Chains A and B, each alone.
Chain A
Amino acid sequence: MKYRMALTAVSVGVVLVASSMIHAGQRGGGGRGAAPPAKQAAPFDLSGYWVSVITEDWKLRMVTPDKGVYDALVLNPVGRKLADGWDPAADEKAGDVCKGYGAPAIMRLPTRLHITWENDNVLRIDTDTGTQTRRFHFGNAVPPAGEPTLQGQSVAQWEFAAVRGGQPATGNLKVVTTNLRAGYIRKNGAPYSDKTTVTEYYDLHALPNGEQWLSITTRVEDPVYFSRTMTNTSDFRKLPNANGWNPSPCSAR
């Protein structure tokens, strides 16, 4: 049985410890010499299985809202007009049922993540919801941009907090995604365009009881259909194993 948790916001708040205090910097050594591979340089280990914890906007995330429900979105009049014309049957007929599972939206859906290192400089995230795959390219591992895709092209870097003597390195992951195919920021047809840029920050939080939580801050900028930047945080709890991993296809509804 899937374990879509709906814990209280209080429990999440306890977990979130000064994530925003981190600022970019070099990890020791003043940046001399060749940079180590991203996998080796990582200030924390993201690999493993994670489950989304839906503690807010439940009715907007756990089910597909009706047409016209745009709460918490930032659509401009053009975007709203397009959303009002949402026709899931047409998407199904066109075989284009994954438009609500693109990079700007996928981390807000109820899903599990399986995070692995595809190689030393490519971090891979698979979702069971919609069976999507994202690849975060570090350093020189960024391939040439091809045709726009739902998951786009993601360039990643570790950002390190200033290190004090004897203290372990801490930091966060920053990911910028472009080259996106247009899709839905919400499955009820609220659009984002192919001009969208997604900037994400991944922060890991360790609890005294041994639990690990991942907080993702996501900024979505769309000059075409948004009136302003949309910024959200989404939370995931680490799982001990793959139990509950349940790949499911995209749905247009």
Chain B
Amino acid sequence: MRKTVFFVIAATLFAAVAAYAHHSYGATYDTSKEVQVKGKLAQFVFRNPHSFVHVQAPDEKGVQQRWAVEWAGTTQLDNTGVKRDSLRVGDEVIIVGRPSRVAGEYRLLMVTLKRPLDGFSWGTRSGEIVD
């Protein structure tokens, strides 16, 4: 069993860089915080207006939860190297995202995704920010 890696970086420095193009993510997500979850990919929905990944991963208490992680739309993902078959159920992934403003909601806004097995990653290069 993989050990929980869960931490919250309560920092305001991220808030300033939330330069989203047209969606008010701040209403849904706390854009001043980041949460990391590490677990197995349960579902990848490559679609408009936004894609989603669902990850089975433990929360801060070590309880397994299904996290819904909101990602970018298909044009943006496609042009940053993410295709409809880039991720598969069962992939071990590490995701950093902005947490929901609602306590107890296991949802995130994607910041970075990494798949250690092959080094696949998203969120660290230019243009890789949820638009």
Complexed CA–CA distance, A212 and B49 (Å): 21
Stretch with Cβ within 8 A of B (4 or more), from A144-152, A184-192, A226-234? A226-234
B37 interface residue (CB < 8 Å to A): no
| Shortest beta-carbon distance from B54 to chain A in Å | 9
Question: Is A195 part of the binding interface, using a Cβ–Cβ cutoff of 8 Å?
Answer: no
Main secondary structure of the interface of B (DSSP, over half): loop
With most chain B CB atoms within 10 A of its CB, the pick from A74, A201, A230, A232 is: A232
Q: Closest B-chain residue to A229, C-beta based?
A: B78
Bound complex: CA of A231 vs CA of B84, how far in Å?
10
SS class, residues of chain A in contact with chain B: mixed
Which of A13-21, A39-47, A132-140 is the interface stretch? A13-21
Q: Does B79 contact A (CB under 8 A)?
A: yes
Partner of B48, one of A18, A19, A233: A233
Q: Is A23 an interface residue (CB 8 A)?
A: yes
> Beyond A17-B43, A201-B84, A228-B75: 16 further Cβ-contacts under 8 Å?
A9-B49, A19-B46, A19-B84, A20-B46, A20-B87, A21-B89, A22-B85, A23-B85, A74-B75, A217-B46, A217-B84, A229-B75, A229-B78, A231-B77, A232-B48, A232-B74
Interface residues of B (CB under 8 A from A): 43-49, 52, 74-75, 77-79, 84-89
